[in-house]
Amino acid sequence: MDHNALHQKVFLTLLLVVSLAFAWILWPFYGAVFWGVVLAILFEPFHRRMLQSMPGRHNLAALMTLLLSLVIVIFPLALITAALVQEGTGVYQEIRSGKLDFGAYFQQILDALPTWMVNLLNRFDVGNLFALQEKLSSAASEGGQRIATQALTIGQNTFEFIISFGIMLYLLFFLLRDGRSLSRTIRQAIPLSAEHKRNLFGKFTTVIRATVKGNIVVAAVQGALGGVMFWFLGIPSPLVWGVVMAFLSLLPAVGAGLIWAPVAIYFLVTGAIWQGVTLIVFGILVIGLVDNVLRPILVGKDTQMPDYVVLISTLGGMSLFGLNGFVIGPVIAALFISAWDLFSSAPQDSQS
């Protein structure tokens, strides 16, 4: 008996070590692996229909699904990224040359404030407005430089991006072709009951599909609308700010307002009244309502998570995993809630 227990402990230790070593090997390309899995889950329904229309031709069905993902997702994203790199380079050069000076813009806002508002700010211990200006302008400049630098980094790391992109496509093809058998093998290896595995795997795929489809579509629409409005109002680099608004739209309850609202305030206090009013009305009635209209339709109640859990898990995921975290964070939160629901319901199931 002791010999069997020792044998089992050694085997489990070996299993854990080789699993961690394999994850360590894959980690440099975890983004490519992650998005390969995500795209395979997203396009699996279409792949299933392709198999029904061409029974037995697994390679061709997977190839057709891969081409569809290229047309719908990857090619448009590549075009936007190329344009963003070009425009981001221009923004970065303007910041370095001083042509784009956030401190000067903030000073214009301060100069336009009435005396009573300045006194009110001092009364509430806002303190030295000059120091506040320095902090805010420094933060704004740093944020703008970081955005532009990220665009430059994408262009400079083209070779690494091409390798990761190739790995993702290669993996996506085999995940589409062999996804069912791989899923079956993983389910059999997990030491849980069939019902628990069904619930956890169902929650995993549901949250990924709902999060990616809902958040990306909402973010793309809000970013596009904001970018078009910025272009209409003559704001420099509308594509960069549209992408920033799309990125911020991934955060529930915060969204693109962090970009368009300060710009609208700047317009109002500097005398550009119709531009400020137009941007506020458009931001509230068009950009703001997109989230309230599209997200429930695309996401619905599939995630079954409160908004505050989605917000916190999204912020935490993005702080740890970068842009990939807007999917990883909610997925981990959903699995956490599902696992604890299963744990809390287990005694009741056993008693009944």
Residue 174 has pLDDT above 80, yes or no: yes
Residue 282 CB partners (closer than 8 Å, separation 6+): 225, 229
- pLDDT band for position 15 (cuts 50, 70, 90): confident
- pLDDT band for position 114 (cuts 50, 70, 90): low
Scan for tokens 């549209």, then name that residue: 242
pLDDT tens, position by position, 128-152: 445 554 555 555 555 555 555 555 5
* Predicted TM-score of the model (pTM): 0.66
Say how many CA atoms lie within 13 Å of 257 toward its Cβ.
Answer: 15
Instruction: Indicate the residue type of 210.
Output: A
Q: Tell me, rounded to whole angstroms, the distance of Cα 300 from its chain centroid.
A: 18
- pLDDT band for position 127 (cuts 50, 70, 90): very low
Question: CA 26 to CA 33: how far, in whole Å?
Answer: 8
What is the pLDDT, as a whole number, of residue 129? 46
294 compared with 254, residue with greater pLDDT: 294
Percent of the chain with pLDDT over 70: 70
pLDDT tens, position by position, 53-72: 888 788 888 889 888 888 88
What is the pLDDT, as a whole number, of residue 349? 46
- pLDDT band for position 102 (cuts 50, 70, 90): low
> In angstroms, how far is the first alpha carbon of the chain from the final one?
33
Question: CA 234 to CA 227: how far, in whole Å?
Answer: 11
pLDDT tens, position by position, 301-346: 556 677 677 778 878 887 888 778 878 888 888 788 877 877 777 6
Scan for tokens 């910041």, then name that residue: 95
Start-end of H helices in 190-272? 194-232, 238-248, 257-269
Tell me the helices (H) and strands (E) count for the chain, helix number first: 15, 0
Q: CA torsion 49→54→58→59, rounded to 10°?
A: -110
Long-range pairs for 145-150: beta carbons < 8 A, 24 or more residues apart: 145/92, 145/95, 147/88, 147/91, 147/240, 147/244, 148/88, 148/89, 148/91, 148/92, 148/95, 148/240, 149/92, 150/88
3-state helix, strand, coil in the chain (%, to 5): 85, 0, 15
Radius of gyration of the chain measured on its C-alpha atoms: 25
Phi, psi angle pair for 248, to nearest 5°: -70, -25
Question: CA 130 to CA 125: how far, in whole Å?
Answer: 13
Summary mean pLDDT of the chain: 75
pLDDT tens, position by position, 265-313: 878 877 788 888 898 888 888 888 877 777 666 655 556 677 677 778 8
Token pair of 93 as six digits: 């050069």
> In the 3-class helix/strand/coil scheme, how is 11-75 assigned residue by residue?
HHHHHHHHHHHHHHHHHHHHHHHHHHHHHHHHHHHHHHHHHHHCCCCHHHHHHHHHHHHHHHHHH
What is the pLDDT, as a whole number, of residue 338? 78
